[in-house]
Structure 1
Amino acid sequence: MADELSKVFAALADPTRRDIVARLAVSDATVSELAAPYDVSIQAVSKHLKVLEDAGLVSRTREAQKRPVHLETEVFDLMTKWIERYRKRAEERYQRLDALLAEMNDGPAASEPGDDIETPQEGKAS
């Protein structure tokens, strides 16, 4: 699973590929349709699609003379599960920290702000 995720995150590290994925989230498209808004060759877009395909993010099918590119949404489920696991762990740590801070602020040993500042009279011997 980690290897798959590495490929997915590496593929999505490029802004052009992220844009292609965003466009494919709306509908399938051909390589020519995907290349249209970019100032690059169809071959360059094909290379981007190959990286996305190797990561399992897209697939290509054949419909008559067309070869539409399709977004494989299951890969996003894998990414979401991975991210959610670490989000939950971080949330648990924050909740423990909140509880500790509340205990420190509300506990019997809690002091008022400024109690730790020594006044000039306190520092002198009587």
Structure 2
Amino acid sequence: MVQYQSNRISASFAALSDATRRGVLEQLGQSDASITDLADKFHLTLTGMKKHVDVLEQAGFVITEKLGRVRTCKLGLRRLEEEAAWIARYHQLWAARFDALDGVIEALKHQEQTNERTQNE
């Protein structure tokens, strides 16, 4: 089960790591579009756009439907709860580490100020 979640999260982050794919998701959030329309909008070849759509489809973010010669894309049902939870765990970890670092910096500043006062006396 853990491996499945890891693969699913990896596919999500891989899909979302590309600016074009994020743009496609934004576009599909406004309305469904054909691969041809998306390729034109993003100035890509049909083959290039199809590859982007395939990555999004494999991650569950996009659903495609072929009607005749036209492949229409729409947003999939995939939600980002698992990814948000993963990010939240690491956010807490790094927030705690940065808080500890802030404490060290404040202690060093205090020590430096104390040393300066001692030298000036």
TM-score, structure 2 normalization = 0.68
Q: What are the Cα deviations for residues 7-36 of structure 1, in whole angstroms up to 9, with x where unaligned?
A: 221222222112111211222211122112
* 1:68 equivalent in structure 2: 72
Give % identity: 30
Using the alignment, how far apart are the partners of 1:112 and 1:8 within structure 2? 47
When the two structures are aligned, how many residues end up with a matched partner? 115
Structure 2 CA distance for partners of 1:67 and 1:25, relative to 1, 3 Å: same
Residue 87 (1) aligns with residue 91 (2): yes
Structure 2 CA distance for partners of 1:3 and 1:36, relative to 1, 3 Å: same
* 2:35 equivalent in structure 1: 31
Using the alignment, how far apart are the partners of 2:111 and 2:42 within structure 1? 62
Which structure has the greater CA radius of gyration? 1
**Structure 2 runs not aligned, ≥5 long:** none
Give the RMSD, CA atoms, in angstroms. 3.4
Using the alignment, how far apart are the partners of 2:113 and 2:47 within structure 1? 68
Using the alignment, how far apart are the partners of 2:88 and 2:113 within structure 1? 41
Runs (4+) of structure 1 exceeding 6 A deviation are none
Using the alignment, how far apart are the partners of 1:71 and 1:25 within structure 2? 7
Using the alignment, how far apart are the partners of 2:113 and 2:101 within structure 1? 23
Q: Which structure has more helix as a fraction of its residues? A: 2
